[in-house]
A and B are shown apart, each in its own frame.
Chain A
Amino acid sequence: ETGVTQTPRHLVMGMTNKKSLKCEQHLGHNAMYWYKQSAKKPLELMFVYNFKEQTENNSVPSRFSPECPNSSHLFLHLHTLQPEDSALYLCASSPSTSGESDTQYFGPGTRLTVL
């Protein structure tokens, strides 16, 4: 266990559905991240939150909407997704985003399939 949990672990949704992914970290970290991982491709950083403030949005389509109500919780709201959005969505946390060597701790991911 890394101290980062994600729910659900698997999600199948239609293109017209609305769903949310949840991430919780129990490490006392101040930074949280959403990544997308597609088969045989590098991790793609989607969003970064530092002290609950969004500090990065890597040109992510608006059908993905993040929410960070506090430093321990992070959500990714999904709406009218496309089949190419099917991937493993990983949440990570780190002590902060300002340290040059902050290690990231990952959750197990949510395997998303869009039909």
Chain B
Amino acid sequence: SQKIEQNSEALNIQEGKTATLTCNYTNYSPAYLQWYRQDPGRGPVFLLLIRENEKEKRKERLKVTFDTTLKQSLFHITASQPADSATYLCALPRDSNYQLIWGAGTKLIIKP
């Protein structure tokens, strides 16, 4: 069955630098992949969706790439700010239907 791997270790980045988070999946390539942000004590909030035929997607300071050969998506935050500190989750549809399966998330800490 499909599995998603995200770095379980927290990522510490200096303010102003680019933060890069990784999402790897193990089996079939999904039709799309989504990224969400989750703050402590809150539900995830949708950020970006990238489809299998798109190599890159941007939204303000956010950029997502999708490499179906490597079975990997990278999530970049440029000019990072302390307010970007949160846990970032990736999600993609299961093989049998469109229900999402989720990574455990990577905690990002932006230090001033």
Q: Which residues of A contact B (CB under 8 A)?
A: 2, 4, 40-43, 45, 48, 56, 90-92, 97-109, 111
Contact = CB atoms under 8 A, between A and B. Distances in A.
A105 B45 CA distance: 7
Given A40-B8, A103-B49, A98 B41 contact: no
B91 to A, nearest CB: 8
Given A100-B93, A101-B32, A43 B102 contact: yes
11 contacts: A2-B45, A42-B4, A42-B105, A56-B99, A99-B98, A100-B98, A101-B31, A106-B44, A107-B43, A109-B42, A109-B43
Given A40-B8, A100-B32, A108 B104 contact: no
Contact of A108 (B31, B41, B49): B41
A43 B93 CA distance: 13
B104 A103 contact: no
Interface of B: 4, 8, 31-32, 34, 41-46, 49, 51, 89, 91, 93, 97-105
Contacts of B46: 103-105
- Shortest beta-carbon contacts, A-B, top 3: A106-B43, A43-B102, A42-B102
A43 B43 CA distance: 11
B89 A43 contact: yes
Contacts of B91: 43
Contacts of B32: 100-101
